[in-house]
Amino acid sequence: MVNIVNIDTSFLSNSLCVVAALLAVVMLTARSAITSALSFLGVLLATGGIYGLLSEHFVATIQLVVYAGAIMVLFVFSIMLLNIDTQKNDIQLKSKTFILGTISALLSFGVVGFALKKYFKTNQTIAGQYTDEKIQALGGNTKALALELFSSHHVLFEVVSLALIISLVAAVVLAKRKFD
């Protein structure tokens, strides 16, 4: 991790992790939809901060502009448009779905956490091609990413643009049509 200013980046990163986890729990348990949306926005901002601390500046910017900007505006706008009145909590504490879902999610999280712990204990990190020095020599994170994207992944880039056009047409058709 590159430490440009004299700040303890691992402390900052860990506190952003805690904030994101707490806000995610708030999103799961909040009563009204707008509270959920705003805490989800907080999770996205904290994740963008973690990207920035890992010195992935391009991904952090995309996270802020596309996720915390565009997608959250869509969510908040449709909450406003539909005017959903959910002032009661809709989680049914005694249902079978609640008990089985929570137990299975906790068990899966335990398994993943155990596997991660084992991986990080025995891990011998194999350094790849893009070390900090090489990224600096190429002219920064964004430039290195652009060189990689437009050389070896350019077909994928075109396919994604096609997918965007298709989804644009689909959204317009779906929003205009009236189903009986």
Partner 1 sequence: MDTFFNIQLLAAFLFFIGLLTVFLRRNIIIVLMGIELMLNAVNLSLVAFSRQHSLLSGQLGVFFVITIAAAESGVGLSILINFYRSFGSARTNSAQELKG
According to CB under 8 A, which residues from 150 to 179 bind partner 1?
153, 156, 160, 163-164, 167-168, 170-171, 174-175, 177-179
Q: Which x/- pattern over 82-111 shows residues binding partner 1 (rule: CB under 8 A)?
A: x-x-x---xx-----xx--xx--xx-xx--
Tokens linked to 113: 């956490």
Q: Which x/- pattern over 50-69 shows residues binding partner 1 (rule: CB under 8 A)?
A: xx--x-x-xx--xx--xx--
Q: Which of 7, 137, 149, 154 binds partner 1 (CB under 8 A)?
A: 149
How far lies 7's CA from each of 10, 45, 61, 66, 68, in Å?
9, 20, 21, 28, 25
Q: Which of 113, 118, 154, 158 binds partner 1 (CB under 8 A)?
A: 113
Under DSSP, the state recorded for 71 is I
Tokens linked to 169: 């047409």
Question: 33 with 84: CB under 8 angstroms?
Answer: yes
- Reported in sequence order, the residue ranges of the chain that DSSP labels E, i.e. its strands, are none
Residues of span 20-39 touching partner 1 by CB under 8 A: 20-21, 24-25, 27-28, 33, 36-37
